[in-house]
């Protein structure tokens, strides 16, 4: 099972987020809100107010932006290698578990403990991602299914820890572990959850990934592996090692995201610790056209929608899933929009009188098509 190209795997080339898909997605969500009998403009106002309206809300939004951006930045690397790292959810969860392990078991001053929890988060994420990588390179299991399996295992492991060895005194409930000790928590500003350190790490991750793919030999070779693993291998690039490298980088960033989720946002280990940011991160990267720099603003938009739509449930009779609907529709329309653009270009190219070409079935003649083979 070969992988397909990263950069244009989804056909999202060039400006992926044109204004049109954005408008259409907003209209679609608005229509749904009308359908349940509420005012879409009021909903929009509440979303903005609920995510940016007060220091508390703003800091929550920022603390959603951080893990989403970290996961998405990592996914840019695996996509560059042509990999669909569906296991990213599990890598976030393992990061949270790693951080929780340190937070629970180690007693040390904050300036030692905090870096240590983050480090263990990264470490656990790397290990989990490498498992998916080994399943792919050695076990020939497509990374999508290996990743899904590892996501299931991660979920099971969290539940086991929360109701088993790490259960709260007296009550075994799935609401989470005992809150972590103060010294293990990410230092935050005032009473909010806003952690400047977390934000700095997310920004560093985006810049790091951008530099890696743009200006290093590793990045260049990685993209070669993503575009055409066979030719890359024949040109002497140790394909498998690069695939594992991409997994490790993504797993590390996802693990960091999980650690920050646990020690910064929830301040304990909860069953849904990943927040679904792994899968959401895949949508972010698809919308970003696989470019690292775009990950930051798109994640910000997603974070605003996600946090804001929670307040919809409280104020209007609208389920908070409207946020997921809006982002999902947006990415779908952006994909289809870019597909339509290419489709029209192909049509035009065919109508223009090029030198008569032979019938070339199978699409093998076009390298872009061959690269998109998924199996």
Partner 1 sequence: MEATLATIVAAAAPLLFATIGETISEKSGVINLSLEGSLMLSALAGFVLAFETGNTWIGFVAAAIVGASFATIVAFGSITLRLNQVAVGFVLAILGIALSSFLGSGYTGKPGGPIAVPPLDIPLLSDIPFFGPVLFSHNIVVYASLIVVVLAWLYMYYTRPGLSLQGVGERPEAAHSRGVPVNGLRYGYTIIGGALVGIGGAAFSLDAKLGWSFLHTRNFGWIALAIVIFGGWHPIRVAIGVYLFGFLQWLALDLQDVFPDLTQVLPIMPFVLMILALVLVNADWLRDWADRHPRWGNLIRGDAPSAIGTHFSAE
CB-based contacts of 195, cutoff 8 Å, min separation 6? 63, 66, 186, 187, 188, 189, 260, 264
Q: For residue 332, state whether it binds partner 1 (rule: CB under 8 A).
A: yes
* Interatomic CA distance for residues 166 and 150, integer angstroms: 21
- Of 48-56, 106-114, 221-229, 342-350, the window that binds partner 1 (rule: CB under 8 A) is 342-350
Q: Verify binding: residue 111, partner 1, rule CB under 8 A.
A: no
Please answer whether residues 6 and 82 qualify as being in contact, where contact means their C-beta atoms are separated by less than 8 angstroms.
yes
Contact by Cβ (8 Å): 321, 90: no
The CA-atom distances, in angstroms, between 172 and each of 176, 208, 351, 365 are 9, 42, 68, 60
Number of residues that bind partner 1 (CB under 8 A): 64
Does residue 324 interact with partner 1 by CB under 8 A?
Answer: yes
Stretch binding partner 1 (CB under 8 A), from 64-72, 119-127, 176-184, 334-342? 334-342
63 within 8 A of 267, measured Cβ to Cβ: no
Which of 98-106, 109-117, 123-131, 137-145 is the region at the interface with partner 1 (rule: CB under 8 A)?
A: 137-145
Tell me how far, at minimum, the Cβ of 65 lies from partner 1, in Å.
Answer: 19
Q: How far is the CB of 375 from partner 1 (least distance, A)?
A: 5
User: Which phi and psi angles does 115 have, rounded to 5°?
Assistant: -60, -35
DSSP letter (8 states) at residue 35: H
141 lies in the site for partner 1, by CB under 8 A? yes
Tokens representing 360 are 């070339």
Nearer to partner 1, 178 or 369 (CB): 369
* Interface ranges with partner 1 (CB under 8 A): 1, 4, 9-12, 32, 84, 135, 139-142, 144-146, 148-150, 152-153, 155-156, 159-160, 163-164, 174, 279-280, 282-283, 286, 319, 321-325, 327-329, 331-332, 335-336, 338-340, 342-343, 350, 357, 359-363, 369-370, 372-375
């Amino acid at each position: 099972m070969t992988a397909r190209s990263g950069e244009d795997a989804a056909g999202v080339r060039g400006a992926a987020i044109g204004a049109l898909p954005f408008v259409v997605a907003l209209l679609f969500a608005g229509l749904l809100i009308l359908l349940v009998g509420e005012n879409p403009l009021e909903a929009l106002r509440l979303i903005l107010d609920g995510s940016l309206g007060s220091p508390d809300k703003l800091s929550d939004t920022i603390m959603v932006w951080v893990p989403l951006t970290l996961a998405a930045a990592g996914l840019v690397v695996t996509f560059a290698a042509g990999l669909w790292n569906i296991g990213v959810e599990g890598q976030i969860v393992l990061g949270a578990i790693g951080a929780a392990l340190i937070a629970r078991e180690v007693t040390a001053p904050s300036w030692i403990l905090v870096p240590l929890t983050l480090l263990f988060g990264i470490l656990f994420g790397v290990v989990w991602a490498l498992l998916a990588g080994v399943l792919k390179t050695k076990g020939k299991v497509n990374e999508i299914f290996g990743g899904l399996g590892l996501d299931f295992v991660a979920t099971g492991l969290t539940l086991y820890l929360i109701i088993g060895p790490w259960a709260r005194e007296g009550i075994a409930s799935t609401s989470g572990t005992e809150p972590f000790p103060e010294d293990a928590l990410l230092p935050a500003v005032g009473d909010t959850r806003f952690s400047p350190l977390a934000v700095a790490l997310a920004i560093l991750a985006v810049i790091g990934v951008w530099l890696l793919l743009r200006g290093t030999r590793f990045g260049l070779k990685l993209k070669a592996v993503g575009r055409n693993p066979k030719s890359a291998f024949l040109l002497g690039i140790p394909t498998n090692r690069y695939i594992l490298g991409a997994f490790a980088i993504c797993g590390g960033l996802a693990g960091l995201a999980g650690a920050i989720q646990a020690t910064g946002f929830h301040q304990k280990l909860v069953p849904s610790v990943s927040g679904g940011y792994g899968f959401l991160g895949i949508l972010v990267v698809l919308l970003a056209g696989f470019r690292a720099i775009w990950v930051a603003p798109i994640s910000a938009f997603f974070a605003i929608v996600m946090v804001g739509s929670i307040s919809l449930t409280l104020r209007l009779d609208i389920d908070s899933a409207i946020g997921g609907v809006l982002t999902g529709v947006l990415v779908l329309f952006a994909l289809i929009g870019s597909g339509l653009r290419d489709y029209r270009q192909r049509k035009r190219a065919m109508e223009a009188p090029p030198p008569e070409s032979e019938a070339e079935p199978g699409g093998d003649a076009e390298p872009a098509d061959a690269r998109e083979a998924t199996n």
